[in-house]
Structure 1
């Protein structure tokens, strides 16, 4: 009888731990960081199943997937822009003019990127980080 309790307890703990992690973040970690797009129905259904069995962990899974952007379908395209074409968007003091950058990206990529979106996460770099990538600061 004691072994049955351990097996049930272990199964319950394993189930709760898997439900506390968001499905999209767990299965497709490369999707994290997206700020918009079409919702992936597979991730939404998996998170909804979590709500059916365990309300709080299911809601947490939805929240984590929306917060990380893992619930959105990937856009499927990647693009690179020549750094020389981006130089006009850099001011003499090293700051980036978002309006000019957005115009350049729209011309090169043919897509409207919302650079003024409040959900956009902006990372600051340093000279050491540029050197690690073999780049020389030229601002």
Structure 2
């Protein structure tokens, strides 16, 4: 099994459509998809994100990080939420992404989340993280 993150990206067009869609209708569509993921036993986490205007960007280009309050970037550069699923293959993750209730014009970026087992097991930081994951029930 591997973990994959499905990152939801909007466009100006899809964001306008979403804002015009009744909230209960959006909840119903997302709720049905969430229930499918839960029933299939593949959902690890899912979260929507707050308005970018309430966020910030921390830029590490210079010696001192520069903080810029939102809104920031173009809509196509932002993501609005994510699903973290655990499935046997990239192909199955893609199939779940195809079923996601996305609005026309939206995009979903699919990224595999490497397992801690893929890192050098004799590294002190990996050992500490493994201990933390074991203590918190993540392993």
Q: TM-score range by the shorter chain?
A: under 0.3
Rg comparison, structure with higher value: 1
- With structure 1 as the length reference, what TM-score do the two structures score? 0.27
Greater share of strand residues, 1 or 2? 2
Q: Which has the higher contact order (CA 8 A, sep 6+)?
A: 2
